[in-house]
Amino acid sequence: MTKPRIKIATTSLAGCFGCHMSFLDMDERLVTLFERVEFNCSPFTDIKQCEPCDIGLIEGGVCNAENVQVLRTFRANCTTLIAVGACAINGGVPAMRNYFDLQDCLREVYLTGTGVTNPQIPNDIELPLLLDKVYPVSGVVPIDYYLPGCPPSADEFLQMLEPLLTGKKPLLQKLHLHYD
């Protein structure tokens, strides 16, 4: 009888999607990993709804109401939740807007900024409500582990995942602890 595969879900909130790209840098090691895991909700599978799973990988900061909902759904469905990369851990580049008032940012981008040809601030029910600031994921839900970097390398992803796949706690080596 084959051993059941570990279920992993991933998502990208406010960020550049670089952490997912770094994950894919495992190249041929992905084949070995895929023999041991099954992806649930993930851009890798295009499955949009997070179902109960073992590990959740969250990339990106929290900038709007939709991000909050996705993050809460992941926390409710993932046994272990990992904040991946600088944006998830501290807001990263998206949090640069935190130095400015949200309304001032919207006015600059949509009304008075260089190249604006049709000045109007978007207001459509299809657009998620922006939060006053960009928050780290730990500001919204409890996080079990942090994988720092911008982005973390494929080796660092493996160093985090390998112990979890065997029921052990991950311990990143000091050389992998960097905060770019």
Percent of the chain with pLDDT over 70: 94
The burial of 103, by beta-carbon neighbours within 10 Å (0-12 exposed, 13-18 middle, 19 or more buried), is given as exposed
Cα–Cα distance measured from residue 130 to residue 132, given in angstroms and rounded to the nearest whole number: 7
Q: Domains along the chain?
A: 6-96+130-176 (3.40.50.700)
Lowest mean pLDDT, pick from 14-28, 57-71, 126-140: 14-28
Token pair recorded at residue 95: 């949090």
pLDDT at 174: 62
Strand order, beta sheet including 145-147: 37-39, 6-12, 53-59, 78-84, 145-147
Q: For strand 78-84 and strand 62-64, is the pairing parallel, antiparallel, or unpaired?
A: unpaired
Q: Which of 177, 173, 168 is nearest to 80 (CA)?
A: 168
Q: Average pLDDT, whole number, for the chain?
A: 91
pLDDT in tens, 25-78: 988 999 989 899 999 888 888 888 899 999 999 999 999 999 999 999 999 999
Residue 179 confidence class, pLDDT cut points 50, 70, 90: low
Reduced to 3 states (helix: H, G, I; strand: E, B; else coil), residue 60 is coil
The distance in angstroms from the start CA to the end CA of the chain is: 44
